[in-house]
Every structure is written in C-alpha cells, then in structure tokens.
Amino acid sequence: MSNFVSVTRDGGVAVVTIDNPPVNALSFHVREPLMQALVSLRDEPDVSAIVIACAGRTFIAGADITEFGKPVQQPDLRAIIAMLETIAKPTVAAIHGTALGGGLELALGCHFRIADSQATLGLPEVKLGLLPGGGGTVRLPRLVGPLKALSMIVSGTPIGAAEALAAGLIDAVFDGALTGQAVRFASEMAGKGGPFTPVRDRDGRLDKVDLAAFDKAAAELAKKARGLAAPIACAQSVRNAMTLPFEEALVAERELFAKLVAGDQSRAQRHLFFAEREAAKVAGKDIVRRKIARVGVIGAGTMGGGIAMAFANGGFSVTVLEATQEALQRGLAMIDKNYAVSVSRGSLSEDNKRQRLGLFKGSTAYDDLADCDLIVEAVFEEMAVKKEVFGRLDAVAKPGAILATNTSYLDVNEIAASTSRPQDVVGMHFFSPANVMKLLEIVRAEKTAPDVLATIVELARRIAKVPVVVGVCHGFVGNRMLAARGTESEALLLEGATPQQIDRVFTDFGWPMGPFQMGDLAGLDTGWRNRKARGQTAMIADTLCKQGHFGQKTGRGFYLYENGSRTPAPNPEVEALIRDKAAEKGIAPRAIGADEIIERTLYPMINEGAKILEEGIAARASDIDVVWVKGYGFPVGKGGPMFWAGLEGLDKIIGRLDHWHERTGKDFFKPAPLLRQMAETGAWEGVAS
C-alpha cells in the first residue's frame, strides 16, 4: 500500500510493517499510510488482532528530527496514537533494536508490547532539549510508576528488555523471529477475548507514590539540569500525569513540547545531534579499511592507561609498553584499580572486569609491538622524545600498521617525517580521562593515507568515541581555541577580576566549571610546559607553577584544596599575588562585569574558530562545536561556540572584537576576514540552523 508501510495477514492477525531506513523514524511519509492502515484494519471484521513491527535493524527510533521547526503535517503522532487507542481488538508492538522517543510512545498506544531480548527502550527526547511530546510523559508513568518514569524521561537513558519487563513496560521477551512470536502472542490475546484496557486507562500505579516523594526526586534531578529547560519540563510533565486528568495532562505536555521545540536550547541540541554524525563522515565511502585486532599503547601513565582501557572496553587486545618493569606494573595496577572502582559502583560486572583485564598484555620490549595493527604513543609531550619513539616503532611495526601519536600540540607532520612511512602516521588526540571522555581529535597529517584516516574514524565509534578530523596546527582545534581564551582570562585577573568571579560567569553560562577550576583540575604544569616551549608567559599561572602549585594534585593552585578536598576554596595568596603583579605592571584594578568577561574570553574563541575554518584545519563549523561540547564541556544548550555565535549575533561579536582590538591592540581580537564575510553574506545562517 506504500513503500514505507505494508500490511500482511497471518490468519486473523494483521501485521503492519514500517520500513523507513535507516532507523524507521516517524516521518510524514510513514505517518500518513500508517494512519490509513490502522483505520482500515480497525474496521475490518476479519482482523482479530494487529501487530505493529518494523523492517531493518530497529523498531521506530522516534519522530523524524529533521521535521522539527517546520510546520507539522497531519496526521501527527498524537493523532495516530489517539486513533490506536480506539481499537477494541488487541494491538501489539513487536520491538527489536531500539524503541525510542515517538517510537516507544507509539508502542505505548498499543495494548501490549513484546520485545526481542536484545532490544532497548527509552524516551531520549531530553537529549534533544525536548520532552516526549507524543503522550510519553503521561502514559509511561501509568505502566512503570511515576518515579521510574521520571528517572527514564529526565535521564533519557534507554533500558534493556529484561529491565523493561521487570518494570512493567513490556509484556513478554522473546529470542529470535520476533514477528512470528508477536503474531502468536496477538492471536492468543485475541482468543482470550476483551475488553483490552488501553494504557491511558490504567491509573493503578499513579497514586502509589506520594507527591512529596516525587517532588524530592524531581528536585534532585533539577539540580543537575544546569540551566537546561528540558529536564525541568520533563519532570513537570510527569508530575502532571499524577495530578491532572489524562486529557488535561496530554494538553499540558503538548504545550510544554511546543515551547521547547521552538526554543534555542533544543535547536542547539538538535544541531549537535546532526553535527556529531556529520563529523564522523569522511570522504570516500568505499575505501577499504585496514583490519585492527591488536592495539599497542606506549606509555602506561594516566593518559596511556586510559587509552589502553578505551580499547579494551571496545573489545580489542592491547599490548601496553613501558620503559621499565616498575612503571609497567604501576600502570597495570592502576588499570586494575579503575576497573575495580567500576565494579564497586555497579557499572561493570566481575565477569566483565576479568574479561577486560584478560585483553591486556604488558611489555617493556618494543619487539612485542610487532604484531599490533595500530600503535598509539602516549609518552612525554616533547618532540625529541616523540621522534625517538617513532624511530623505534618504524623499526619494529609490521608493514601496514597504523602509527598514532596522542600529542595534544605538536606537529604531526614532523613526527610522521621521522619515520619511513609517513602515510601510516596519524594523530589520535584523546582527552583525559581517556577511558571516559568522548572526544577524539583525529589529526590528518599531510601524508596520512585516506584509508588510515577512514580506519581510525570508524575505529573511534567502535571504542565509543566521537571522532572529529582536524588538520595540523599548534593545539589543533580544541587547545588552539583554548589558548585564546586562557590568555585573556589572565589579563582580566590583572585588571581587577577574581578567579572566582570569572569561573562564576562561566558556570552561569552553563559550563561545568570555569577556566581556573579547569586549570587546577587538569594540572597547571601542563600549560606551563607548553608555554615555556613556545616562549610564552602567563604572569599568575607561571608564578604559581614556579612555587610548585599545580592545582588539585598539589593541594593548591588558583584555589585551595585542603586535606585532599576536590572542592575549590578561595586562595587569599592568589588574590595577593594578583594585586602585586597588577601593581608591578601599573594596572589599577577596576570593577569588571560579566558581559566583559564573556566578550573577552568567548568571542576570541569564536574568532579563532573562524581562522581555523579559513585555514581548513576543521572542515565544518559544526565540527568545532562537537570538539567543544564533547571535549571541553561547552554547554550543550548553546550548541557549541560556532552555533552560539549565530545566536549571539555575528554583527555584535564583530563590533565588540573591534572594540577590544582597538583598546588592547591584541591580535586575537582582530576579527577574522571569514567572520566579517559571513556576517555580510548571512552565511552564518547555515552554521546555526
């Protein structure tokens, strides 16, 4: 009846199959024939039950996100679900893969849900800055109870079939040939005879939780929202399910959805959803990838250990190489300890821990890397050291092995040139802790072969990283833009701002922490070493480092961390140091407002981003956004620096950059030609769409 929706019969059971690759999103071209099919099956006397199933790799993964922001074409999802609920014969959703968002909401419109044992189910709308707008916040609590619904909807994290069965979300779990099982299940239900109660009428679990307990749980979750409207709206909407009649709660949900979908935060989060997927695409779809089975990691320190864990977590065998037995044992013990912590937190089973540890092999001999398909170096950040390591790798690595450097600043072309096989060399810039942080900057050097690049991009997703391909320049995308921000943060201190004040402006903006807290956490010595290598200085940070104050790890930096505390306390010595240094330079402190802090720290980042685009270091503005959101904590609700620039207004940004350039003479304020050009042509619209 349509390319996207077909109906087959198995006895009295009609099977409606949706086939809208890749993820069976509920686009208009699905909704229209789906509605028609359901209406006609409802009225057909020969049909005793209806199964809704999907072709391909998954059940419906949600509404079609590309349709948001455009006029809604009828029938919308709500109308289809409302119609489903008028059907008296049993309706069964047969779920395999992922039933997400609108997909799960459609399933909630059925009398029954059965699932494949590997299926996952969830309402992830919050991650797009939305709430489930197809009745999910009103129906889910009726099945699983308000507290479980609250946690699923506010976190957006899907649950597995077994948990869904235990929670009451689904009615049965099967292995293999799901549609056949669904037909049997449906016909059995039809045999029992009705009436079948739609989810909307199952109120039994709603008053099992008292409102005070619910509000307490919601308040806890709201604390983590950090300025995002969607989690708060999600909680409000689940609460409405408890306090309002069904229809009124649905209307309230619809109103909240309409507000969120039209807002900047959701636009930003939808932008990031597609940006992340776009960044993972490299030219040459048909390029044959190299086979990667065993990975070598050189260095078992914090970075090397984290990288090794990331690969083991992805199921790869890992050879960890250290210079001495002692360093190796220390590194392996740390890996063991990190996995033990995951076990104690319940995020890893003992069995999985054993399995993962079984993937590691330790060594102090380069020859042991000869069977590795990929070798990642995570040694000291110094060109001479890196070159020595690559020279040795060149001698032992098998032909075709990919040689990667985890450098965060250094010239990958120069490193590649120190081998006889520059085509096999690539940068893999992980972020610390490497087993946790999602971002992977993949540095394409001049001679990196296309199949090496394609292999690493694909591999990144297998180890649950978000890849962004970048070109060679000092600091690549992330650290180069960070440098622009860092310089000005120090200048603001000398002119009268305090670290607390600047950090506060950042957290109010939505960052998890400000630049000084972040410096203390990462270790001030890293930036210091980098500055020294480039002949640069930072008055305050350099003085702290010379005094041996590197931040959290030494108990003091811009803040104090007493008795091993991780909570930053103001450091009066730093305040005195700032006053002294300002006096030395003849700067009279003045009151500095939040706007100035934003303009002088974030606008130069955008300017640097524009230069990065001009130079072709990043292929797309949205790649820069992914780097900043996934690697540096740029608030998701603002979509990354380049998207946010569109919200803020390019003309305004250029005007203020001009102002600060005139006032300070600093080069990084001088607007990049691309920025001006984009402001004039309106081309930024494309970036911030």
The residues annotated with a catalytic role in the active site are 105, 125
Count CB neighbours of 232 within 10 A.
Answer: 17
The structure tokens listed for 451 are 């199949």
Site for ligand 3H9 in 428-467 (CB under 6 A): none
DSSP-derived 3-state class of residue 54: strand
Q: Which stretch binds ligand 3H9 (CB under 6 A): 48-56, 94-102, 412-420, 427-435?
A: 94-102
- Least Cβ distance, residue 287 to ligand 3H9 (angstroms): 17
- Least Cβ distance, residue 25 to ligand 3H9 (angstroms): 4
Binding mask of the shown chain, residues 372 to 411, with x at each position contacting ligand 3H9 by CB under 6 A: ----------------------------------------
Question: Which one, of 64, 49, 53, 50, lies nearest residue 19 by Cα?
Answer: 53
Binding mask of the shown chain, residues 269 to 288, with x at each position contacting ligand 3H9 by CB under 6 A: -----x--x-----------
Question: Which one, of 640, 624, 622, lies nearest residue 687 by Cα?
Answer: 622
The structure tokens listed for 241 are 């399910």
Of the residues 85, 105, 322, 623, which one makes contact with ligand 3H9 according to CB under 6 A: 105
From residue 526, alpha-carbon distances to 408, 550, 558 in Å are: 11, 9, 15
Q: Which stretch binds ligand 3H9 (CB under 6 A): 30-38, 97-105, 358-366, 631-639?
A: 97-105
Of the residues 5, 14, 16, 25, which one makes contact with ligand 3H9 according to CB under 6 A: 25
State yes or no: residue 85 binds ligand 3H9 (CB under 6 A).
no
The structure tokens listed for 170 are 């689904």
Site for ligand 3H9 in 607-666 (CB under 6 A): none
- Least Cβ distance, residue 109 to ligand 3H9 (angstroms): 12
For ligand 3H9, give the closer residue by CB, 460 or 577. Answer: 460
State yes or no: residue 66 binds ligand 3H9 (CB under 6 A).
yes
Of the residues 75, 101, 146, 306, which one makes contact with ligand 3H9 according to CB under 6 A: 101
Q: Are strands 98-100 and 91-95 parallel, antiparallel or unpaired?
A: unpaired
Burial of 196 (0-12, 13-18, 19+ CB in 10 A): middle
Q: Is there a contact between 669 and 656 (Cβ–Cβ < 8 Å)?
A: no
Binding mask of the shown chain, residues 227 to 266, with x at each position contacting ligand 3H9 by CB under 6 A: ----------------------------------------
Q: Which residues are within 8 A (CB) of 199 and not within 5 positions of it... i.e. 6 or more apart?
A: 85, 108, 109, 111, 139, 142, 143
- Least Cβ distance, residue 268 to ligand 3H9 (angstroms): 15
Q: How far apart are CA 234 and CA 352, in angstroms?
A: 34
Q: How far apart are CA 620 and CA 22, in angstroms?
A: 24
Q: Could you tell me if residue 346 is left (phi over 0), alpha (psi between -120 and 50 degrees) or otherwise beta?
A: left
State yes or no: residue 77 binds ligand 3H9 (CB under 6 A).
yes
The structure tokens listed for 651 are 């003309």
State yes or no: residue 109 binds ligand 3H9 (CB under 6 A).
no
Of the residues 90, 102, 499, 519, which one makes contact with ligand 3H9 according to CB under 6 A: 102
Of the residues 7, 37, 38, 100, which one makes contact with ligand 3H9 according to CB under 6 A: 100
Q: Is there a contact between 111 and 182 (Cβ–Cβ < 8 Å)?
A: no
8-state DSSP, 109 = T
For ligand 3H9, give the closer residue by CB, 123 or 449. Answer: 123
State yes or no: residue 62 binds ligand 3H9 (CB under 6 A).
yes
Which residue carries 């000398």 as its tokens?
A: 494
- Least Cβ distance, residue 438 to ligand 3H9 (angstroms): 14
Q: What is the size of the binding site for ligand 3H9 (CB under 6 A)?
A: 25
- Least Cβ distance, residue 612 to ligand 3H9 (angstroms): 23
Q: How far apart are CA 332 and CA 351, in angstroms?
A: 18
Per-residue DSSP letters for 617-656? SBS-HHHHHHHHHHHH---GGGTSHHHHHHHH-HHHHHHH
Q: Is there a contact between 105 and 80 (Cβ–Cβ < 8 Å)?
A: no
Which residue carries 């890992």 as its tokens?
A: 318
For ligand 3H9, give the closer residue by CB, 67 or 575. Answer: 67
Q: Is there a contact between 111 and 188 (Cβ–Cβ < 8 Å)?
A: no
For ligand 3H9, give the closer residue by CB, 21 or 593. Answer: 21
**DSSP H/E element including 320:** strand 317-321
- Least Cβ distance, residue 140 to ligand 3H9 (angstroms): 11
Q: Which stretch binds ligand 3H9 (CB under 6 A): 62-70, 138-146, 218-226, 244-252?
A: 62-70
The structure tokens listed for 569 are 């306390």
Q: How far apart are CA 334 and CA 461, in angstroms?
A: 25
For ligand 3H9, give the closer residue by CB, 94 or 466. Answer: 466
Of the residues 13, 23, 369, 672, which one makes contact with ligand 3H9 according to CB under 6 A: 23
State yes or no: residue 65 binds ligand 3H9 (CB under 6 A).
yes
Q: Are strands 439-443 and 425-430 parallel, antiparallel or unpaired?
A: antiparallel
For ligand 3H9, give the closer residue by CB, 115 or 524. Answer: 115
For ligand 3H9, give the closer residue by CB, 119 or 456. Answer: 119
State yes or no: residue 71 binds ligand 3H9 (CB under 6 A).
no
Q: How far apart are CA 238 and CA 148, in angstroms?
A: 10
SS3 percent helix, strand, coil of the chain, rounded to 5, is 55, 10, 35
Q: Are strands 402-405 and 120-122 parallel, antiparallel or unpaired?
A: unpaired
Site for ligand 3H9 in 121-180 (CB under 6 A): 124-125, 128, 130, 132-134, 136
- Least Cβ distance, residue 139 to ligand 3H9 (angstroms): 11
Question: Which one, of 299, 139, 351, 153, lies nearest residue 236 by Cα?
Answer: 153
For ligand 3H9, give the closer residue by CB, 77 or 374. Answer: 77
- Least Cβ distance, residue 107 to ligand 3H9 (angstroms): 12
- Least Cβ distance, residue 425 to ligand 3H9 (angstroms): 28
Q: Please report, as ranges, the residues that interact with ligand 3H9 according to CB under 6 A.
A: 22-23, 25, 61-66, 77, 98, 100-102, 105, 124-125, 128, 130, 132-134, 136, 274, 277
